[in-house]
A and B are shown apart, each in its own frame.
Chain A
Amino acid sequence: MRRAAALVLSGLAAWGLLALAPAHAQPAAPERQDLVLSLSKPRVTITSSFSGDSIVLFGVAPDDADGAAPPDVVVTVRGPNASFVTWRKARRFGLWTNVESRSFLAAPSYLAVLSNRPPAEMADADTLRQEQAGFTNNHLLQRVGPDYADVVTGDPFRQAFLRVKQAQGLYFERTAAVEFIAPHVFRTVIPIPGIAPIGTYDVQVKLFQNGERLASGMLPLEVAKIDFEQSVATAAQDHSLLYGLATMLGALAVGFVANLMFRRD
């Protein structure tokens, strides 16, 4: 009862803020930087036959009359964050062992950087780094001793991390993947591999012109298990003991049936 009242109150407060907002808002600069984005589907559904998918992103760049050339486009897709450890191996007593490690905290579990030409040609390095535009320009927070920081792009652990993730098929860098199908209309294909992690992905689009950011936009893309896949995963998580017992009995049943089938007397 009390919770319901609180909800109503907070709802009223929100309404109040909304009602007040227009009165305080300054007349904004003419909204020319409207970037229209659309995905061929907002949700990648994983069924038992799933082995990867391709999502098409369409975008319409703002109709900027003074810009003669079409803008440059950088599309960055980031999967849900996870923590990773990058290990360096070295030879110790004749055996190759992990000797040094770095923790990458909150790195995207999936990363695709798609652009119409190499981002390095679009703007100066500082701007690109600030905008996180370009494959090596994405922030990768590391823990170095007690500090949390990102390091220079030339850091061997950082380079190795990107290289290994690319080899695993979870990180993509495609510098000619965005194409213009009309002067201001572009499209690109986002590759979703079969091993893509589950969760909500951020599709971020940044437009550059004359070395500066022109516009940006963001869309969510969901990767989710449905039907049977979803029920198995839910059962394993929410009813773990029952799931374990059922799996064990199932295993014994398969063993028993196989034994009966192949029995020769």
Chain B
Amino acid sequence: MTIYLPIAELPVNIFTLLALGIAVGFISGMFGVGGGFLMTPLLIFLGVAPAVAVASVSTHMAASSFSGTLNYLRRKLVDVQLGLVLLAGGLTGTLTGVLTFMLLRRFGQLDLFIAISYIVLLGTIGTLMVIESLRVLLRNWRGEPTRVRRPGAHPWFLRMPFKMRFRQSRIYVSIIPVIVIGFSIGFLGAVMGIGGGFLLVPALIYLLRVPTLTSVATSLMLTLVTMAAAIVMHAVLNQTVDAVLGLVLMVGGTIGAQFGARAGQAMKAENLRLLLGLLVLGVGLRVAIDQIRQPTDLYAVTLDEANR
């Protein structure tokens, strides 16, 4: 059964879209990531214009992250205070990112820049996560006791001035690194067109030492706020939000996210990290292969945005 998308201006199979929403929603609920880094390329593959794909995916991410956030809020796992401090840095980062985006676009090598950022960022983070969680798993398998986190054994950047106590996350750290993390996520999100959840979760876990589930919950809340703002911004500035596309995706996505969140809570934290690491690494490799392999057609045609 096909359905015509009024803004994307093309017909798609409604069941393909639903399945896509459920699959990505499951992953986003499980790992607390927005899922944009998976959903956007898949929609472009279906024939949706990149601008419409990016804008419409934000509606899907808003819905599924809201549903997930409510779950974690009820379980009192969201660190609202940490989320707000991150957001302060994040909004500044987004603005800087949008300006950089325009600058890169003028030089005509935006695509290459995005691809290289994906490869470097996803490759590094994915590899680090996989190695770390494998080490923990190996230790557990050998029956060695897990090292208990000692309070006070903080790296230098957490000992900077302006310390703040985040009770939910059980950390007492300087807000400078927190704001820097928020800024970086916002910046990369705007430049690379992603929500940034898959970057934020590991950053919170490894850099700020926030418990895994609290990291996931807080990251979801941040995604919710960013995406809600992104919907309105895209709708006003670009008029590329396809409500019909978004609705089908979010119906599938919210259902998937519910099951994903439950699967995530039932799983051991190190297994969860290993899986997310493999996923991130996989997407990074995929982008790398696309860039290295010779394309079937050496020519590509794009709409000329400047001469419309």
Interface residues of A (CB under 8 A from B): 46-52, 82-91, 94-98, 101, 103-105, 156-157, 160-161, 163-165, 167-168, 194-195, 197-198, 225, 228-230, 232-233, 236-237, 240-241, 243-248, 250-252, 254-259, 262
Contacts and interface: CB of A to CB of B under 8 A. Distances in A.
A251 B257 CA distance: 14
A92 to B, nearest CB: 8
A194 B4 contact: yes
A254 B254 contact: yes
Interface string B283-308: 00000000111110111111110111
A258 B259 CA distance: 11
A86 B6 contact: no
A46 B241 contact: no
B269 to A, nearest CB: 22
B94 interface: no
Contacts of A48: 3-4, 244
B9 A195 contact: yes
Nearest to A229: B6
Interface stretch (B76-84, B105-113, B141-149): B105-113
B297 A164 contact: yes
B243 interface: yes
Given A232-B243, A240-B239, A243-B243, A251 B297 contact: no
Contacts of A96: 291-295
Contacts of B108: 98, 101
B292 to A, nearest CB: 6
B232 interface: yes
Given A98-B108, A229-B4, A232-B244, A251 B59 contact: yes
A252 B241 contact: no
A49 B3 contact: yes
Contact of B231 (A90, A168, A248, A255): A248
Given A245-B232, A251-B66, A88 B299 contact: yes
Given A161-B301, A247-B59, A259-B67, A97 B109 contact: yes
A223 B115 CA distance: 37
Contacts of B301: 84-87, 160-161, 164-165, 168
A238 B286 CA distance: 40
A112 B246 CA distance: 32
Nearest to B116: A95
16 contacts: A88-B298, A105-B304, A160-B297, A195-B11, A197-B9, A232-B244, A236-B235, A241-B236, A244-B241, A248-B62, A251-B59, A252-B228, A255-B67, A255-B250, A256-B67, A258-B251
Contact of A252 (B62, B112, B292, B295): B62
A85 B115 CA distance: 20
Interface residues of B, number: 60
Interface string B53-73: 000000110111111001100
A84 B299 contact: no
Given A84-B304, A86-B301, 17 more contacts: A83-B307, A85-B301, A101-B108, A163-B299, A164-B297, A195-B9, A195-B10, A245-B232, A250-B59, A251-B66, A252-B62, A252-B228, A254-B63, A254-B254, A255-B65, A258-B258, A262-B255
Contact of A160 (B115, B299, B304): B299
Contacts of A247: 59, 231, 235, 241, 243, 246
A256 B299 contact: no
Contacts of A197: 9
A257 B247 CA distance: 13
A206 B234 CA distance: 45
Nearest to A97: B112
A256 B70 contact: yes
A45 to B, nearest CB: 11
Contacts of A243: 235, 241, 243
A90 B294 CA distance: 9
B2 interface: yes
Contacts of A86: 299-301
B62 A240 contact: no
B112 A225 contact: no
Nearest to A230: B6
Contact of B63 (A97, A160, A251): A251
B299 A87 contact: yes
A49 B2 contact: yes
B7 interface: yes
